[in-house]
Every structure is written in structure tokens, then in C-alpha cells.
Amino acid sequence: MKSFKLFSTLWTALLVIANPAHADEISIAVAANFTAPMQAIAADFEKGSGHKLALSFGSTGKFYAQIKNGAPFELLLAADDETPARLIKEGNAVANSQFTYAIGKLVLWSAKPGLVDDKGSVLKRADISHIAYCNPKLAPYGAAAVEAMKSLALFESLQAKLVEGENITQAHQFVVSGNAEIGFIALSQVYKNGKVNEGSLWIVPSQLYSPIRQDVVILDKGKSHAAAAELAKYLKSDKAKAVIRSYGYEL
């Protein structure tokens, strides 16, 4: 009888160690341009906190529609600042939980070295037949691309060449696969630790488009989960900021 009680006590202790009371699992909606840095941040956060993060990547506009239809996300890392503010106003997110975690940079990129020049004049070349970008109605980087082309007075003349992806990941894939020679994507997709991973690019001057302020917000379904608030706080940490900067974002 004593041995059974001892075994029971040891088993209970093991369960407590394996499943700490503070551990939580939450679902996070993340703008596609932030895929790589978020994967790195999530790994560090999980290791240090014991929490588990279920990450979903996609366009901010699509996530907005899913959240409005009851999707079980507890935190949104958007590619803009308007969507989080709208969700707060409409009662789907926690007031005062919104802040900017990164400021994105738009680039014109090609998988081929030397194709894109440092002034973006490749956009005017007759031999460029396909230019990728993402849906401006769903993705802030797509809206920024349209704004930049209009600022350059090229949007109308490039209409026939534009290939639209649902999100920034698909726009990037169009260029990688060769379905488009060049494309407007996020710097973070082809940049890490101070250098471009491959191909050639032009960092679109910031004065050609509105600032891409990427904001995070705790959603209504996450207000009772400590992990949601802890992750939001972690995004402000020096360690997370170092990761964010390493992918070319500003803070």
C-alpha cells in the first residue's frame, strides 16, 4: 500500500513537471512577410516560456475576414496598423494592446543577379514581360507596390505585365519559379544579417509609398490567455528586436 502511494506521488510530480501550470498553447495569425523572423522568435519564446505557438501565415486582409468569422486566433501580427485598430474598434481585439513591432521595406527583386538595377529602371524595360506583386486589397505590401508604381507614373503602363499573388509569399514564388522576371516583395524575404541572400534588388525609396507600420494586437479570444500577453511583451524585448532587425525591418 505504501509503495502504491509512493508511486502515485512520484507520478503526480512527474506530471506537474511535464505539464507546468503556466504552460499554454495559443494560435497566432502572422503576416506572410514576417514568416522567417517569426519562426525564429517563436522558437526562442517557446524555449524560454514553456508555451506552445501554433503559427499561421497569410495575408492580413484574409486573416481579418477569418477573425470576423470566428477563427480561433489569439494574437494577430498584421502587415499594417489599420487592421488591428479596426478590430479593436469593432470589438474583436483588446483595447490598448496594439503596438508597432516592425516597419517593413518594399523592394523590387529578381532571382537573377544583376537584373534589377539600383534605380528601378528595370521596370521600364521592354523585355520584362511579367512583374509580380500581391493583392493590394488583402496585403499591405501589395497596396504599397501599387502606390509606388503610381508615384513613378508607371502603374497604367505596367497593367498588362502585372501578375497578382494572394499574398507576399505567392508573389515571391512567382519570381522564384520564373513565372515573373521581377516582383515587388518584402525585403525580409530575401535579406538576413545585413546581406541579400540571392538575386538582385532595388530598395524602393520610402517616399514613394506610405510607411508599412506592422502592428500586433491581442484578439478577443486571447485576452484570457497569459501566453498571448507574454508573447506581445516578448516582441518588445532586445532579443526579439535583434531578430527583427536582422531581416531588414526598422523599429
pLDDT value, residue 22: 64
DSSP secondary structure string, the chain? -HHHHHHHHHHHHHHHHHS-TT--EEEEEEEGGGHHHHHHHHHHHHHHH--EEEEEEE-HHHHHHHHHTT---SEEE-SSSHHHHHHHHTTSB-TT--EEEEEE-EEEEESSTTTS-TT-GGGG-TT---EEEE-TTT-HHHHHHHHHHHHTT-HHHHGGGEEEESSHHHHHHHHHHTSSSEEEEEGGGSEETTEE-SSEEEE--GGGS--EEEEEEEBGGGTT-HHHHHHHHHTTSHHHHHHHHHTT-B-
Counting as low any pLDDT under 50, the low residues of the chain are 1-21
Same fold, 2-103+213-246 and 104-208: yes
CB 22: neighbour CB atoms within 10 A?
Answer: 10
Hey, where are the domains in the chain? 2-103+213-246, 104-208
Topology (CATH level 3) of domain 2-103+213-246? D-Maltodextrin-Binding Protein; domain 2 (3.40.190)
Does domain 104-208 fall under CATH 3.30.1130.10? My reply is no
pLDDT value, residue 139: 93
pLDDT value, residue 197: 83
Rounded to two decimals, the pTM is 0.85
Distance CA 20, CA 145 (A): 46
pLDDT value, residue 193: 83
Distance CA 25, CA 226 (A): 10
pLDDT for 15-24, tens place per residue?
Answer: 444 444 467 8
